[in-house]
């Protein structure tokens, strides 16, 4: 899918960036009135739990990116009937499943300490839950079809159909249920996602975006690995019979 050198850059880059975020995100101390770049401000109600921002949010982000990559390659498959596109689509869906599980777990742990329960049916919790359901349904469908072409075609159609409902969820969720998420409409501290308010210092912001970049690169690297493994499997199937 990518050139050899660029994949090396992605590989080492993602490891480097995530390691840096891990260390910096956990080690930088909090301070009531931050003076230097090496101090985070204390966000009322979040305190040390704010550090989850650097991990949980990029994981959810990656899960969503993976879904769209899967849908785009599904469409590409339908247009070209090139089975390699299906391979990319299913690999991306597999990673999406992994990342949405990770995001759900980190989110639930965080919710336990911040909101008092692992699960609250907050709009965003519900959204990631639906994403998990979609991934689950996608793989259930794939395992129920023997023919390779049919499997590729029908699962591509399913990702497209489920993609169509995403705007509705984005629109409906916040209206239907009270939000608990930092930055949700009901939150006393304000409107809009947390990192768009001035409660977050610029050093947190830099680290957050760095983490987004790192996780996205990590996703690209894993995707590349899985696609190559998938190709080998297909070749083996072909030559084995």
Partner 1 sequence: MKLVVANLAKEFNRRAIFSDVSFSLELRDSLAITGMNGAGKSTLVKILAGLLSETRGSIEYSVDGKAVPVDMLRDQIGLVSPYLMLYDEFTAKENLSLLSRIRSNSFQIEDRSRELLQQFGLWEKRDEFVRTYSSGMKQRLKFVFALLHQPVLLFVDEPTSNLDEEGVSLVRDVIEQQKKDRILVVATNIHEEAGWCSKRIHLKKI
Partner 2 sequence: MNTFYSTYAVLLKDAQSELRTRYAVNALVMFVVTAAVIVQLAIRSELPSSAVLSGLFWVVVFFAAMSGLSRTFVSEEERGTSMTLQLVASPSAVYFGKLSFNIVLTLLLNSAITILFTVVFPGFVVETFGTFLLTVLLSSIGLASTSTILAAIIAKANTKGTLYPVLAFPILIPLLMTAMRATTRALDGEPFGNAAEEYQILISYIMVITAGSYLVFDYVWKD
Cβ-based nearer residue to partner 2, 42 or 141:
141
Contact of residue 148 among partner 2, partner 1, none (CB under 5-8 Å per partner type):
partner 1
Say which entry of partner 2, partner 1, none residue 241 contacts (CB below 5 to 8 A, set by partner kind). partner 1
Residue labelled with tokens 């596109």: 85
The per-residue DSSP string of the chain comes to ---HHHHHHHHHHHHHHHHHHHHHHHHSPEESS--STT-EEPPTTTGGGGGGHHHHHHHHHHHHHHHHHHHHHHHHHHHH--HHHHHHHHHHHHHHHHHHHHHHHHHHHHHHHHTSSS----HHHHHHHHHHHHHHHHHHHHHT--SHHHHHHHHHHHHHHHHHTHHHHHHHHHHHS---STTSTT-TT-SS-GGGSTTS-HHHHHHHHHHHHHHHHHHHHHHHHHHHHHHHHHHHHHHH-
201 binds, among partner 1, partner 2, none (CB under 5 to 8 A by kind): none
238 binds partner 1 (CB under 8 A): yes
- Which of partner 1, partner 2, none has residue 83 at its interface (CB below 5 to 8 Å by kind)? partner 1
For partner 1, which residue of 28, 72, 78, 83 counts as binding (CB under 8 A)?
Answer: 83
Q: Mark residues 159-188: x for contact with partner 2 by CB under 8 A, - for none.
A: -xxx-xx-xxx-xx--xx------------
d(CA 25, CA 22): 5
State which residue, 48 or 233, has the beta carbon closest to partner 1. Answer: 233
Length of the chain: 241
149 binds partner 1, rule: CB under 8 A: yes
Binding-site member from 47, 148, 196, 233 for partner 1 (CB under 8 A): 148
Closer of 185 and 206 to partner 2 (Cβ): 185
* Interacting residues with partner 2 (CB under 8 A): 78, 130, 133-134, 136-137, 140-141, 144-146, 150, 153-154, 156-158, 160-162, 164-165, 167-169, 171-172, 175-176
* Interacting residues with partner 1 (CB under 8 A): 81, 83, 147-149, 234, 237-238, 241
């Amino acid at each position: 899918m990518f050139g050899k050198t660029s994949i090396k850059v992605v590989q080492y880059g993602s490891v480097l960036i995530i390691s840096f975020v891990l260390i910096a995100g956990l080690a930088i101390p909090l301070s009531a009135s931050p003076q230097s770049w090496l101090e985070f401000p204390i966000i009322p109600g979040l305190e040390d739990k704010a550090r989850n921002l650097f991990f949980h949010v990029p994981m959810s982000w990656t899960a969503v990116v993976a879904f769209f990559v899967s849908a785009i390659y599904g469409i590409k498959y339908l247009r070209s009937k090139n089975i390699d596109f299906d391979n990319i689509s299913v690999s991306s869906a597999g990673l999406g499943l992994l990342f949405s599980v990770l995001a759900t777990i980190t989110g639930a742990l965080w919710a336990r300490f911040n909101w008092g329960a692992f699960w609250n049916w907050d709009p965003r919790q519900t959204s990631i839950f639906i994403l998990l359901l979609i991934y689950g349904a996608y793989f259930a469908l794939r395992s129920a079809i023997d023919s390779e072409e049919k499997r590729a075609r029908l699962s591509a159609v399913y990702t497209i159909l489920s993609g169509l409902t995403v705007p509705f969820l984005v629109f409906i969720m916040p209206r239907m249920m009270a939000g608990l998420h930092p930055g949700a409409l009901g939150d006393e501290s304000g409107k809009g996602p947390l990192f768009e308010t001035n409660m977050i210092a610029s050093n947190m912001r830099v680290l957050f975006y760095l983490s987004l970049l790192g996780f996205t690169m990590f996703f690209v690297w894993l995707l590349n690995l899985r696609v190559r493994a998938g190709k080998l499997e297909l070749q083996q199937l072909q030559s084995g019979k």
